[in-house]
Structure 1
């Protein structure tokens, strides 16, 4: 199923019809006949969208929306409401994510659902973009949200700004499509774009929307498209292209301007929520792939990355060296001086390894006292030189221990096994990444058996 939707409507025929239409689009649909029933079902059902009709027997639709928004765990639940005329502003103020005039319009309804499903918290996986550096004169900086209005006629965009000026606390900038694209390419991206669907040619605003949504620096902005009345048939197209909302071009009336301001503010709020989710996802990904003690990558990251480097070297007909390093007699450090000493040794060695390696190297803690290094474009000779330099550097400088330890510093050494995939090998002789790792592991065992504190390279059949 594409997603879970709860339909809340007091009219039985409306509920049944809506369920059939949404299920035909491959959504999982549940229905509730009242607001109280919906509030009881939501914690169990965990819907991704709630669709509220205009007729509830026990409470106004906007009151149900307010009830949902008042609960922290439902504060960002996407809610589509059916509302017309003066009820639209009340629905928006209650927290509706999107409005539908007529639930019989399948194109608009399904486009709204697709748009909200696309921005659902469970589906967030985009990589967080870095923030631009700000000037040091903080007291001169405008901290308000930034919006860019793009229209074929500057007077049109200025009219939007005039209508919204007292209703939105935004820094509103007017520019043309070319300037919007060039600014976005430089990383000068506002929180929100308000774009006329038709500027110089029919649909060129939609093409601008697609272009901005496809670019890494601007794809996470909020987008609102403005349509002329006779172009209402393009609403579904705009939503499917990535617009968060679609507004009518006439914002001159008090009611129209108020509604537009609330809907724009709602889009900005959803963008902020998405930004927070992306940051949280990025942190979770980082924590899942990072060893908490040393700050290095862990096994979960290292093995897939090693496979990528392996495939890359095969494609480039280059070479790849794999080093497995193990601290000698590390168990005695923990047994004789405590785990605080062992942790200090691991952290110190990890720092030295990171400083000793080239920028394109892969470095990870595989577990315990074992480390993995992958060196792209390194021959057997150059990999052996790197390993030997690391070995000498580790044994030559004692590790300082925490003050609670009985001794102030300790001497450590390491052993390493090296295996190299050479560029001159016949295709039939090329091992898999795990075989390359196994060869390095056997070489490491040989280094340990030969007395430790030494480097052993795997069989010459693997070397270039």
Structure 2
């Protein structure tokens, strides 16, 4: 199933018709005939989207929207409300994510649902933490910033004049070329209002697609302004990534208040998505980081080693693996206490990192064991790096926390090194590299510690 949707409508025919339409699009659909039933169902099934229709016997659409928002899981839940007249502004004020047009077509509704589902998915980062580039902030106004792009500057200025006292963000007017140039340079807005047709039919939608594909601007909020005779383009705009579609005459006295609320809602959705994305990225970072040393942990390091092995295959370069183990570390804990042991681990990690080449990977993979992976590093170069790291550890005594049996302690490290080469069109085997480096490390320990042992042969695929 593509997603779970709760349909709320007082008319049985409407509920059945909507359930058939959404089920045919592979959504999992539940229905409710009243506001109270809808609240009970929302607590029970945790829908991804709620559609509120008309004819509810116990509560109006705006009031039900506010009640849904008050649920523990309701703050982030998209709610679409079918509303007419004054109820439209009331629904938006109550927290509706979007409005359902009573005369709207099925394609538009499905496109809006797809957009909301996509918005939920895009709140997650695309890859490992820290790889996404944050957009650069504007410098002169501390409020969020929106950019309006229309067919003529006068049109966009009219939109700004009608809305600037109704919204809590700054508004700038721009042209398509300048908007793209600013986005490429990292000068992005948090919200874009773009006319569907600027100089040519549909070129505003092409601008939307371009901005959605740029790394700096892809996470902005987007709204499209559409002329009445181009209503068939609404599903296209929503599928291209617009969060909402407003009528061209949005500056009209009868619609400006609703337009302001809908733009403000899109900005709020963008901020919520940013918050969730940052929280997920932060959680991913901590899940892959050793809290004591700040280095990567085993969970991150071993999959990354496999990736580097495949990269070595593509470049036909050597890949070196170093296992480093602190000598007689158990005596540190037994004689000086665990706080002293933690201080030693943190300081050794810092010294190892300072001696690591820029493209190397360093991780703590055990109690006192560290892993270093060196791309494009033949055996002789790996030996030099291992020696640099060994010397860095023993260069000076480590200061211990006050109150212990000693103020400082000399520490040494033993190192096992294995080097693999991509041969026969296959990547070096990461497990074989680790096993070979581990045997070399044991040999270094057996030979007296504080030394480096190179595995006796290259580890091929």
Q: Under a length normalisation based on structure 2, what TM-score does the superposition of the two structures give?
A: 0.95
State the distance in 2 between where 1:110 and 1:128 align. Answer: 30
State the distance in 1 between where 2:93 and 2:419 align. Answer: 65
Residues 121 and 277 in structure 1, CA contact (< 8 A), matched pair in contact too: no
> SS at the partner of 1:238?
helix
State the distance in 2 between where 1:188 and 1:122 align. Answer: 21
State the distance in 1 between where 2:122 and 2:334 align. Answer: 46
Residues 7 and 30 in structure 1, CA contact (< 8 A), matched pair in contact too: yes
Residues 223 and 243 in structure 1, CA contact (< 8 A), matched pair in contact too: yes
Matches within 5 A, 1:58-73: 58-73=58-73
State the distance in 2 between where 1:378 and 1:222 align. Answer: 45
Matches within 5 A, 1:152-171: 152-171=151-170
Structure 1 stretches (4+) deviating beyond 6 angstroms? Answer: none
Structure 2 residue corresponding to 1:457, chosen from 440, 447, 454? 454
- Give 1:19's aligned residue: 19
- Give 2:75's aligned residue: 75
Q: Deviations over 1:389-437 (max 9, x none)?
A: 22122223111100132211111111111011136x4457x64111111
Aligned-residue offset at 1:357 = 0.9
State the distance in 2 between where 1:393 and 1:146 align. Answer: 49
Structure 1 unaligned blocks of 5 or more: 136-140
Q: Deviations over 1:237-290 (max 9, x none)?
A: 000000000000012322211111010000001011011011101101100110
Q: Deviations over 1:339-361 (max 9, x none)?
A: 10110110000000111111100
> SS at the partner of 1:292?
coil
Matches within 5 A, 1:61-460: 61-102=61-102, 105-120=105-120, 124-126=124-126, 128-130=132-134, 132=136, 141-422=140-421, 425-427=423-425, 431-460=428-457
Residues 299 and 366 in structure 1, CA contact (< 8 A), matched pair in contact too: yes
Shift in CA distance, 445/103, structure 1 to aligned 2, threshold 3 Å: farther
- Give 1:138's aligned residue: none
Residues 319 and 378 in structure 2, CA contact (< 8 A), matched pair in contact too: yes
State the distance in 1 between where 2:394 and 2:26 align. Answer: 64
State the distance in 2 between where 1:134 and 1:123 align. Answer: 22
State the distance in 2 between where 1:368 and 1:326 align. Answer: 9
Q: Deviations over 1:78-119 (max 9, x none)?
A: 001111233211211111101111377210110111011111
Residues 414 and 451 in structure 2, CA contact (< 8 A), matched pair in contact too: yes
Residues 164 and 170 in structure 2, CA contact (< 8 A), matched pair in contact too: no
- Farther off after superposition, 35-44 or 202-211: 35-44
Aligned-residue offset at 1:193 = 0.5
Q: Deviations over 1:116-150 (max 9, x none)?
A: 11112696234653353776xxxxx3212211111
Aligned-residue offset at 1:165 = 2.2
- Farther off after superposition, 69-78 or 112-121: 69-78
- Give 2:7's aligned residue: 7
- Farther off after superposition, 83-92 or 204-213: 83-92
Q: Deviations over 1:211-247 (max 9, x none)?
A: 0001110001100000000001100000000000000
Q: Deviations over 1:305-341 (max 9, x none)?
A: 1111111111111111110001111111111111101
Shift in CA distance, 122/227, structure 1 to aligned 2, threshold 3 Å: closer
Residues 6 and 47 in structure 2, CA contact (< 8 A), matched pair in contact too: yes
Residues 103 and 109 in structure 1, CA contact (< 8 A), matched pair in contact too: no
> SS at the partner of 1:119?
helix
Residues 296 and 363 in structure 2, CA contact (< 8 A), matched pair in contact too: yes
- Farther off after superposition, 389-398 or 354-363: 389-398
Shift in CA distance, 269/158, structure 1 to aligned 2, threshold 3 Å: same
State the distance in 1 between where 2:100 and 2:122 align. Answer: 24
- Farther off after superposition, 113-122 or 33-42: 113-122
> SS at the partner of 2:295?
coil
Residues 147 and 194 in structure 1, CA contact (< 8 A), matched pair in contact too: yes
State the distance in 1 between where 2:459 and 2:132 align. Answer: 40
Aligned-residue offset at 1:77 = 1.1
State the distance in 1 between where 2:443 and 2:185 align. Answer: 54
Structure 2 unaligned blocks of 5 or more: none
Aligned-residue offset at 1:384 = 0.6
